[in-house]
Amino acid sequence: MAKFDISPVNGGTGSCALRSSILTKSEDWLEANYAPTPRGRVRPEFTRMWPHDVAAKPIPWGVYPQATPGSIPRIFACLLVAMGTAVADPVVVGPPDAPATSQPVIVPRATFRPSADLDGTYLWLGPIGAASFIADKWDSTFGGEAAVVVVREHAPLGLVGANLGASRWTVRGGGRVWVDALVGTHLLGRMMGASVGPILELSEIAHPRLGASVGVWGFAGITPFVRVGSVSQLGMFAELGVHIALPVLRR
C-alpha cells in the first residue's frame, strides 16, 4: 500500500522532503509512522509577545514609546511641572471699570449779566483838577480821588457812596484833604448828584485848618463838579473842577 513519509531527512535536523513508496507489509510494520515526527522545540513565549521579543511602537501623539513600567513616573512628573508653570504665571489685573452713572450730568446754561445793566458796587479811581477862588485869589489844585458807590439805575436814589480825595495848591503851597458823602439820581438822561463833607486845609507855614463844603456833580464819562465851602481863618471859597472816574472794581 502507498504510504507517505514526512519525517525529516538527515536525522530530523535539516529540511524536510516528501517521499512516497510502495511498501510491503514487513516494511509497513517496520517504517510506517502515522504520528508526526517530533520537531525541534519552539519556545512557548514566542506566541505570547513578550516585550523582549516585540519592539514597542511609538505612540502617534508623543515622543516616547508605548507605556512601559518606567514611563508612568515620567508622565506624572511632566504633569506636575506643567501645573507648577501655570500657577507661577503672573496675573495682570486691569483698571477697574468706571461705575455706570444712573443719570446724565446736566450742566446748567451759563448766564451773563447784560452789558446795559450797570447795577452793582463800584470802586472808582482817577485824577482830579480844579480852579479855586480863596482868600481873594485864584489858584489851581491837582490831585486824586477814590470813590466807592452803589449804583441802582432804576431806583429813585440811583447812587449812594462816599469819596476820599487829596490835592495840592500850585501857587500858595500846601493842599487839602476831604471826605464827601455822595448821592445821585437820573436827571435829563444823566446821573447827577450832590456831595457834602468836611475839608482839612494844610499849609507848610501854618497849622491845619478845618472846613466843610457842599457841591453838585454830573456824570458824562468824566465827572465835572462845582463846590463851595468855608475854611476857618480863610473864609469862603468856590471851586470848579473835573474828576476822571475810572471803574477798577465791580461787584
For 98-129, write each residue's pLDDT tens digit.
Answer: 666 667 777 777 676 666 677 889 999 999 99
Residue entry with cell 496675573: 91
Per-residue pLDDT at 155: 87
Q: How far apart are CA 226 and CA 102, in angstroms?
A: 67
Average pLDDT, the chain: 75
User: 8-12, 120-124, 127-131, 243-247: which range is least confident on average?
Assistant: 8-12
Q: Give per-residue burial for 184-221: e unless 16+ CB within 10 Å, then b.
A: beeeeeebbbebebebebbeeeeeebebebebebbbee
- CATH topology assigned to domain 120-250: Porin (2.40.160)
Q: Are 66 and 59 in contact (CB under 8 A)?
A: yes
Q: Are 169 and 192 in contact (CB under 8 A)?
A: no
Map residue 251 onto helix, strand or coil.
coil
**CB contact set of 40 (below 8 Å; sequence gap of 6+):** 13
Higher pLDDT pick, 210 / 11:
210
- CATH 2.40.160.20 segments of the chain: 120-250
Residue entry with cell 468824566: 222
For 172-213, write each residue's pLDDT tens digit.
Answer: 888 999 999 999 998 888 889 999 999 999 988 889 999 999
Rounded to an integer, what is the distance from CA 87 to the centroid of its chain?
36
Residues linked to residue 164 through DSSP beta bridges, in sequence order: 146, 179
